[in-house]
Structure 1
Amino acid sequence: MGYKISDEMLGTFVPVLVYWLYSGIYVLLGSLEKYRLHSRKEEETKNLASKGTVVKGVLIQQVFQIVVAIILFKVVSKDEEINRASQPSLLLVVIQFVLAMFVLDTWQYFIHRYMHMNKFLYRHIHSKHHSLVVPFAYGALYNHPLEGLLLDTVGGALSFLISGMTPRTAIFFFSFATIKTVDDHCGLWLPGNPLHVFFNNNSAYHDVHHQLYGGKYNFSQPFFVVWDRILGTYMPYSLKKRKDGGLEARPVKE
């Protein structure tokens, strides 16, 4: 009888694999200059962290992510066969997805915003992520290990626990959240991107936040812009052509 990989292990490692595979697609698409939100020259001159440093930083965070996921699944999961036999209905899965999205958005908005408001935390913790003034796909999770643990890993754990989703559902939820996070940082505006159709929180929206003029706005991530709108930190944008043929997101007044 062959070895079966548990839902818990898939929920732990699949999102990591998805991160690098999806990022790799955007690396290949990065040569499409007319869809870039910043030129390659800007990426090279404005970013303060090298590509190698970014890769190492992301891998460190993913190690923390894996360890916490393994512990979390050990604590909350019972017999694996029971879990497989008692999967919820599709309707309940959808409800759990939406609830988990709201929990993750809420947690990340307030922690993210506080890291900007608190000068100590910004200078010593969150500024590492903002060293990428020109975001790119595999830099989505490049940040200080403490921020990665608090913002992403703890936020993910809370969304899992509060929504009540099973480890099997978690495979799909965290893979989707990973895709969305990478997409928001990809630095590209590709025509027909379905994520831009369903979510106003997108690569251009988050790019505004990474610019000097947007540092006090667009804190929401990774799904909706609800908290930005409610609490007055929403900065709309318009896409304009750059002189070199690419695109840029410029802030506009509502």
Structure 2
Amino acid sequence: MSFLAVSDEVLGTFVPIAVYWIYSGIYALLGDLENYRLHSKAEEFEKNIVPKSAVVKGVLIQQSLQIAVSLSLFAVISDDNPSSSTSSSSHISVIGAVLQFFVAMLVLDTWQYFMHRYMHSNKFLYKHVHSKHHSLVVPYAFGALYNHPLEGLLLDTAGGALAFVVSGMTPHAAIVFFSFATVKTVDDHCGLWLPGNLLHVFFANNSAYHDVHHQLYGSKYNFSQPFFVVWDKILGTYLPYSLEKRNGGGFEARPVKLKR
């Protein structure tokens, strides 16, 4: 049993959602820092075709589905393994925990790369499902999970469930892992390039990398998310870019070359 007698299953379900809104809220407050934006405010209003109120509603719908799947998954695991209570953390070495996290990261990255790429290559799925996410040509933090509900279920919720099961992590460890994955996803969509961001130091998959994918010229590249860029490099969908100063302040991720 965890803090204030709330089970790890409940915390593992709701803490990442709280992290999403808190962390994206911080970025929303920083959104007026024009000198660190990857697109100007004017460009955001011009290119994005969906109001922010609709984005909030869409994210809340996806998170509702996420809650239902998460609690159901924990219930099934608890029923299948009654001798090992999922409401208390299991003892595991630091090396074992790191290995579980790394496996979960690889599984989540692999699932999301291939599902994400397929949603681009399948014209029906792109038009009726994935294009909703790309209506935010200029990404911002709390739009990270603005997806069609089917995409949210297949790409994010199912991918997270698979990473949890394959890695074998406990619900207690899942609190940390999915909170971190949430921070990473929000950061990738924040639309800012802030100095001293440690996520940019340790991960090549960052806000500029994903911004390239959201632009028309990059829609066939940089599918990898949320951690590594391995699959893009292996399968030839990696589009290198340079980060340049933008006229009027801020930065711009410019492609180094387009593949033919």
Q: TM-score range by the shorter chain?
A: over 0.9
Structure 2 residue 58 is matched with structure 1 residue 57? yes
Structure 2 residue 62 is matched with structure 1 residue 96? no
Of the three residues 127, 140, 144, the one matched with 1:123 is 127
For residue 79 of structure 1, report the CA deviation from its aligned partner. 5.1
1:19 maps to 20
Q: Is the 8 A contact 2:50 2:136 kept in 1?
A: yes
1:160-188 Cα shifts (integer Å, max 9, x gaps): 00000000000000000000000000000
1:136 maps to 140
2:11 maps to 10
RMSD of aligned residue pairs (Cα, Å): 1.5
1:93-148 Cα shifts (integer Å, max 9, x gaps): 10000000000000000000000000000000000000000000000000100000
Structure 2 residue 154 is matched with structure 1 residue 153? no
Q: Is the 8 A contact 2:223 2:232 kept in 1?
A: yes
For residue 241 of structure 1, report the CA deviation from its aligned partner. 1.1
Instruction: Give the 3 Å change call, closer, same or farther, for CA 243–92 of structure 1 in structure 2.
Output: same
1:176 maps to 180
Q: Is the 8 A contact 2:89 2:170 kept in 1?
A: no
2:30 maps to 29
Structure 2 residue 241 is matched with structure 1 residue 237? yes
Amino acid at match of 1:58: V
For residue 86 of structure 1, report the CA deviation from its aligned partner. 2.8
Amino acid at match of 2:215: Q
- Percent identical pairs in the alignment equals 72
Q: Which runs of 5+ in 2 are unaligned?
A: none
For normalisation by structure 1, the TM-score amounts to 0.97
1:36-67 Cα shifts (integer Å, max 9, x gaps): 00000011010011000000000000000000
1:114 maps to 118
Amino acid at match of 2:64: V
Aligned to 2:105, the other structure's residue is in SS state helix
Instruction: Give the 3 Å change call, closer, same or farther, for CA 166–212 of structure 1 in structure 2.
Output: same
Q: Which runs of 5+ in 1 are unaligned?
A: none
Amino acid at match of 2:54: T
